Amino acid sequence: MRTIDMHTHLPGRSYGAGRRPTHEFLAMLDRAGVDQAVVLTVDGFFFDDVAANNALAEQAAESGGRLIPFCTVDPRGDGAVAEVRRCIEGLGFRGLKFHPWLQGFSPLEGFMRPIAAEAERLGVPILFHDGTPCYSTPLQVAYLAEEFPNLTIILGHGGLMDLWVEAIAAVRRYPNCHVCLCGSAPPAVFARMIAELGTAKVTIGTDAGFGDDYSAEFRMAQFRALALPEADREAIFWRNAVRLLAIS
Amino acid sequence: MNPGMVIDGHVTAGAGLYFDIGPEQLIEAMDRHGIGQALLAPSDGWLAVDNREGNEQILAWTRRWPGRLLGYATANPWYGERALAELERALDEGLHGIKLHPARQGFMLLEPIVEPILAFAARRRVPVYIVTGVPVASMPLQLAELARRFPETPLIMGRSGRTDFSLDLLPAARLAPNIYIETAYNLPATLGAIAQAIGPGRLLFASDAPFTNLELELSKLELIPEWPAMREAVLGANLARLLRLDP
């Protein structure tokens, strides 16, 4: 079955991984049976956001359409909105990614508003790290969905181990809040989330490129082992992703 | 209640894990600072496991100082039906509200076990004071989500999400008109901003004495912008309305 991984990270100098040649990253996705992947930065959370976006654009260009980049920006910076526009309109990025606690801000802070408004105007989703107090809880992230009803917000992890119940509440509360099942919560939790939420706003991700190389294979195997009707499986493995990313 | 009477929305007495607080010193402090009534809350073991023991002691103190001490009842939501029965009993006996403390009582605010208690509070028309600010267990936006599910239940955001959720306080209050903010742990500029954003009708004087300095908890209020216009509401009238105390 076609498989789109909604949450991977391009390895960089953060966490000591080092930049990987594109073909190696694609080989890792091959081993996991992933056809296409949303690719996010790690370095951009800590270092030069523009350089990190350029690196993503370069490697996506080498991937034959398999890597679909999301940009990040320093949300406090004066150039944040312009950099979002450059990435989306100039470089063909399909969304934005923020990791509030690593980037040191709360999604509730005022400077997120013009960025969210720009994403809403451009019609691209914002994927957030979520599941971690005190700046990345599902409801903090989803508050942007309350304020920008035409903006698509994706909870990038579904609350992780501690806040998946809150992630369910956020996805239920806001029609424009989606969830990518991804991260450390065990598959029984993911199955429970699908049972509670249905599949219309659910996608899957592996966090590949962040941490253990085996995570892509391991987590995809977990998703494949979920007992789901075929239509639900298709929805979360690729159909919903195609719609969110506006790809063919 | 006399018009203009000062009512303190949250004080503590009793033997807790780290403090042993006699109610006499509380009454003395209330006398010294012109506080007419105070809502006494259970803490520690009374919250976690010995719910009935705590409720009984608080009832005994409210009876010893009638007209001065009011009280919160508690029950650990994990007790299920037994929790509801204990709350029913304690309110029937004369307590005035419910206090919950998710971290002490071992639940996360959005877990379904708390919902019967919020529905019960709406039926009994009593406010629920919930300690917030504990990561995972109890955060302001979780309280707002709960408040939206139970719009008939007044919820007091205990501790205002301090320490790490200061930024969440106003968004949470804006999401749910049945959330009330207490003055403890907020300073005058913040209290002024809260009053401006959601109106002074949802701001309640609560000192959290004796952990705080009661004198400063009162005097800081004088520094709130436009304090005279909201003084009577914040110091007592808002809470009297919530508790349906006789005028």
Q: Per-residue pLDDT tens for A188-237?
A: 999 999 999 999 999 999 999 988 889 999 999 999 999 999 999 999 99
Q: ipTM score of the complex?
A: 0.93
Beta-sheet pairing, B179-182 with B203-204: parallel
Structure pTM?
Answer: 0.95
Interface test with chain B among A139, A162, A192, by most B beta carbons within 10 Å: A139
Cross-strand bridge partners of residue A71: A96
Contacts of B196 (CB under 8 A, 6+ apart): none
* pLDDT value of position B126: 98
For the stretch A41-82, pLDDT in tens is: 999 999 999 999 999 999 999 999 999 999 999 999 999 999
The pLDDT mean for chain A works out to: 96
| Interface residues on B facing A, Cβ-Cβ cutoff 8 A | 108, 110-111, 135-136, 139, 141-142, 144-145, 148, 164-165, 167-168, 171, 175
Does residue A38 surpass a pLDDT of 70? yes
Residues in chain B predicted with pLDDT less than 70, given as ranges, are 1-3, 247
Within B42-145, strands assigned E span 69-73, 97-100, 128-131
From B165, which residue of chain A is nearest by alpha-carbon distance? A134
Interface test with chain A among B164, B165, B169, by most A beta carbons within 10 Å: B165
Cα A171 to Cα B174: distance, rounded to the nearest angstrom: 19
Does residue A29 surpass a pLDDT of 60? yes
Contacts of A239 (CB under 8 A, 6+ apart): none
* pLDDT value of position B247: 59
Task: Label residue B135 exposed, middle or buried (CB < 10 Å: 0-12, 13-18, 19+).
Answer: middle
B139 contacts in chain A (CB < 8 Å): 133-134, 137, 139
